[in-house]
């Protein structure tokens, strides 16, 4: 997977920081840094944004701002590290900061509408979003950008099934072989609320979103529908 993905993830500088910095403490005491983009009218639905491996939360800035403009608050977070852990089993715990971010949002009822929190992830962040959502029914909708059925041992086919009938948006470039095969497998459950969007832009993860404005628009509108924006 690494060689193909590397060809689609070309060097791109992180966007300039915006949003309001926040620090989120998980149950194990570790702190996750985030950027909060508040909706104009609150309480509002909210979306946690999870980046690719080696990329910062600022990669989500443009999407986060468009979500906020559409009256959805957005919280972009960093992964626990910029490189893979030496212990492969530790990678399976990297979804825990997502759960902490969801709990942080749920603990702010004056700003975040109860029962209206979603998660969007890109590449490894997409796989981690599935693990977090399977473990937490407070996550009402997920959007997966360039997911893989198996990212260095982070397998998502079973957790995705455990996620159940909750809505899922699946997005990838048609030039991204691993992601397209993974999405076709995940979308086979026609009885569930699955929506698939393809792009002709040869890119991966948040780089794909940065280069395809139509995908961003579709993602924002999808969260508006599934999280019932007023």
pLDDT value of residue 141: 98
d(CA 182, CA 147): 7
For residues 105 and 135, the answer to whether their CB atoms sit within 8 Å is no
Query: Could you check whether the bond before residue 200 is cis, i.e. omega within 30 degrees of 0?
Result: no
What class has domain 18-226?
Answer: alpha beta
pLDDT value of residue 3: 39
d(CA 35, CA 73): 11
Three-state DSSP at 128 gives helix
Whole-angstrom Cα Rg for the chain: 16
Strand duo 194-199 + 168-173: pairing:
parallel
pLDDT value of residue 9: 53
Blockwise average pLDDT, block size 10, the chain, 230 residues: 48 57 88 96 98 97 98 97 92 96 97 98 99 98 98 97 96 98 90 90 98 98 90
pLDDT value of residue 127: 99
For residues 14 and 55, the answer to whether their CB atoms sit within 8 Å is yes
| pTM given for the model | 0.92
**198: closest CA among 217, 183, 188, 178?**
183
**Dihedral sign of CA atoms 211, 9, 68, 131 in order:** positive
Question: What phi and psi, each to the nearest 5 degrees, are found at residue 186?
Answer: -65, -30
Strand duo 154-155 + 44-50: pairing:
unpaired
pLDDT value of residue 13: 45
pLDDT value of residue 230: 63
Domain assignments of the chain as residue spans, ordered by start: 18-226
pLDDT value of residue 11: 45
Whole-angstrom distance between the N-terminal and C-terminal Cα of the chain? 41
- Cα atoms in the 13 Å half-sphere on the side-chain side of 26: 18
């Amino acid at each position: 997977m690494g060689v193909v993905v590397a060809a689609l993830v070309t060097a791109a500088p992180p966007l300039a920081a915006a949003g309001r910095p926040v620090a989120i403490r998980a149950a194990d005491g570790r702190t996750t840094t985030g950027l909060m983009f508040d909706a104009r009218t609150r309480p509002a639905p909210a979306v946690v944004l999870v980046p690719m491996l080696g990329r910062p939360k600022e990669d989500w800035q443009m999407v986060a701002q468009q979500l906020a403009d559409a009256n959805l608050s957005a919280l972009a977070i960093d992964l626990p590290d910029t490189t893979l852990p030496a212990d492969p089993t530790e990678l399976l715990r990297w979804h825990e900061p997502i759960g902490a971010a969801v709990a942080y949002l749920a603990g702010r009822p004056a700003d975040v509408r109860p029962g209206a929190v979603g998660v969007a992830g890109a590449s490894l962040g997409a796989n981690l979003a599935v693990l977090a959502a399977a473990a937490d029914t407070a996550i009402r909708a997920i959007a997966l950008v360039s997911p893989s059925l198996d990212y260095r041992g982070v397998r998502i086919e079973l957790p995705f099934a455990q996620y159940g009938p909750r809505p899922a948006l699946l997005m990838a470039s048609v030039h991204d072989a691993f992601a397209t095969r993974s999405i076709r497998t995940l979308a086979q459950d026609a009885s569930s609320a699955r929506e698939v969007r393809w792009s002709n832009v040869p890119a991966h993860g948040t780089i794909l979103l940065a280069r395809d404005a139509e995908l961003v628009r579709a993602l924002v509108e999808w969260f508006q529908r599934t999280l019932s924006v007023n």
